[in-house]
Amino acid sequence: MPNESSAPLFNIQIDGVWHQVPKGTRVIEACARIGVFVPRYCYHKKLSSPGNCRMCLIEMGFPRLGPDRKPERGSDGKPIINWIPRPQISCAQDVSEGMAVRTNSPLVKECQRGVMEFLLINHPLDCPICDQAGECRLQEFSVDFGNSKSRFLENKVKKPKNVVLGPRVTLDDERCILCSRCIRFCQEIAHDDVLGFVDRGSYTVLTAHSGKRLENNYSLNTVDICPVGALTSTDFRFKMRVWFLKETKSICTSCATGCNTIIGTREDVIYRQTPRENDHVNSCWMCDYGRLNFKFLEAENRLLEPQIRSDGKLIAADWPAAISEASLQLKQFTGNEIAIVASGRMTNEELWLTSQLAKSLGVQWIDIVPRREPGDDILLSEDRNPNTNGARLILGSTSEPGAKLMAIAEAVKSGEIKALVMLKENAMHLGMPVEQLAQLPVFIVMNILAYEATQKATVVLPACGFAEKRGSMINGKGRLQRLNRAARPPGNARDDWEILRDLLQAVGGGDSLSSSDDVFRRISETVPHFAGLSVSKIGDLGVHILRMKELPPTHPRDEKAIAQAVAIQARRRAVGRKVHEARKALGVRRD
């Protein structure tokens, strides 16, 4: 992208009208700027332009120059254009002064019809089963620019179908139109050059280089940019037709990057998550890890009913009963006997309510669970909590988020803490045996999934996952972004902020909060960084509210404590994985 503000402007005539576009703009982009759409397959604005699909052909010309090197003018006083007799591709050509372009002349239309006919010669036309149907460029351009009938009588070339390119991508070579977008993506964005064309002519096929697989963490982006149904997501393949999907703009919560996404749901079932363009955060891409990280919302161990411990057993209860039970249990203790472990996966609204809860109970022990894992240089962040910055701003603690966790664990072990509130986290992250947690007189758990430790809780409050609620988060670079509700929670599970609000009201406080927007309004009134913001002002693309260089000086990074907590997490996960594998080997089902 050329730097638009400083580049000199060129005059360019598009379909007979003069416009001014900055120097360095590609013709196809210049047309797009003024609202003239030029069809394209191989061209993608974030990738290089090979110009191999020939769909973006236009007529191009330059003013005829007189002997004085000035454009000659016709009788109507306008420059006379010397049209190039052959059509040109618009995606590989930058604009130049005085250039003229025709995008809908008879020649252009003829060319587009011809290209479409060529592309469809060997295309299987299996739209009824193709997952791309409904968002397929071949379908759309065929309608807009193609012929209604095929003149092709011969047999079509048979190519391999159902080619497994990698663990997450399946290829149907018959549908491929050889645009090479995927190849260029792997080379230019993912830095993992695994794809290429082999064979010649009609028999050219896309394939992975021998001995290589398309298994990098960004492989599913090739599915997004494939203009036809050749590259398909193995996960989404044949699951649902795209026109049924309700698209909700949201963000990915799998790491601190906060890639902007579109969640596709139908009747409260999430089918896929695709990246949404935001040049400040994720460009057009997102990682496979984050993209597929929504399955846990339908896990078998999802908590569906509020539960109360009675006679040593957890019994399903209704919400008012569970909330009042939780508040009664909490009110037995003074502030320094209670610990609240919140989560960096909670939204700002929920964190604010948590901090209010802590305030009205007088709780000092409050922190979140840190998550550190190796990141990459592309999108994936080291910090796997999506809202560490939100916790840092809103919880108002004097140390780095996650640093106090081990101290809380120690206090629980020593019996100093009598009541433990786990919000959206597994209590095993504290690094102590379940039996010890079972000794706690009060152990309130609000979470999405049931874990071993959940069985020992005195009150269980089923909450919502990221796709089931509204809220805001601050990503690793200090950008405030919005989550939107794509699906309703299953069973009797409830929006987190409502649970926290009710709990807050039950222990005395938190009045006149009737929506999560109200909570955000309170945040904007109390937290300086949020001043003047509202939910609607955040917008779909977010706002930058935090410059990461200027972290508050009151937050010295407590690296050692965080590292300790993360290590316990990793150890837990390793043990869990081993147990899982052992069970799997023995053929034992989960739980």
How many residues touch another protein (CB under 8 A)?
17
Instruction: Rule CB under 8 A: say whether 129 interacts with another protein.
Output: yes
Site mask for another protein (CB under 8 A), range 551-570, x = bound: --------------------
Of 112-120, 127-135, 380-388, 554-562, the window that binds another protein (rule: CB under 8 A) is 127-135
Instruction: In angstroms, give the least distance from the CB of 238 to another protein.
Output: 5
Instruction: In angstroms, give the least distance from the CB of 156 to another protein.
Output: 7
Contact (Cβ atoms closer than 8 angstroms) between residue 513 and residue 501: yes
At residue 125, the 3 state secondary structure works out as coil
Contact (Cβ atoms closer than 8 angstroms) between residue 235 and residue 292: yes
Give DSSP secondary structure letters for 162-195. SEE-SSSEEE-GGG-----HHHHHHHHTS----E
Of 58-66, 197-205, 231-239, 437-445, the window that binds another protein (rule: CB under 8 A) is 231-239
| Residues in CB range of 27: below 8 A, 6 or more apart | 12, 58, 60, 90, 91, 93, 94, 95, 99, 101
Task: State which H helix or E strand residue 225 sits in.
Answer: helix 220-225
Query: Using CB under 8 A, which of 32, 121, 127, 543 touches another protein?
Result: 127
Instruction: In angstroms, give the least distance from the CB of 127 to another protein.
Output: 7
Q: Strands of 349-470 (E only): list them.
A: 365-369, 419-423, 442-447, 459-462
Instruction: Rule CB under 8 A: say whether 46 interacts with another protein.
Output: no
Any idea of the CA torsion for 173, 178, 179, 183, to the nearest 10 degrees? 70
Query: Using CB under 8 A, which of 4, 110, 126, 318 touches another protein?
Result: 126
Instruction: Rule CB under 8 A: say whether 244 interacts with another protein.
Output: yes
Instruction: In angstroms, give the least distance from the CB of 244 to another protein.
Output: 7
User: Per CB under 8 A, which of residues 148..187 are in contact with another protein?
Assistant: 155-156, 161-162
Site mask for another protein (CB under 8 A), range 514-533, x = bound: --------------------
Return the number of the residue (175 or 276) whose C-beta is nearest another protein. 175
Return the number of the residue (37 or 152) whose C-beta is nearest another protein. 152
Instruction: Rule CB under 8 A: say whether 241 interacts with another protein.
Output: yes
Instruction: Rule CB under 8 A: say whether 191 interacts with another protein.
Output: no
CA distance 375 to 369: 18
Which tokens go with 509? 């406080």
Task: State which H helix or E strand residue 358 sits in.
Answer: helix 348-361
A 10 A CB-CB count for 335 gives: 13
Return the number of the residue (131 or 502) whose C-beta is nearest another protein. 131
Instruction: Rule CB under 8 A: say whether 238 interacts with another protein.
Output: yes
CA distance 55 to 146: 11
Query: Using CB under 8 A, which of 133, 262, 292, 432 touches another protein?
Result: 133
Q: Burial letters for 376-393: b for 16+ Cβ neighbours within 10 Å, e otherwise?
A: eebbbbebbbbbbbbbbb
Query: Using CB under 8 A, which of 73, 109, 239, 578 touches another protein?
Result: 239
Query: Using CB under 8 A, which of 32, 121, 125, 269 touches another protein?
Result: 125
Interface residues toward another protein, by CB under 8 A: 125-129, 133, 155-156, 161-162, 237-241, 243-244
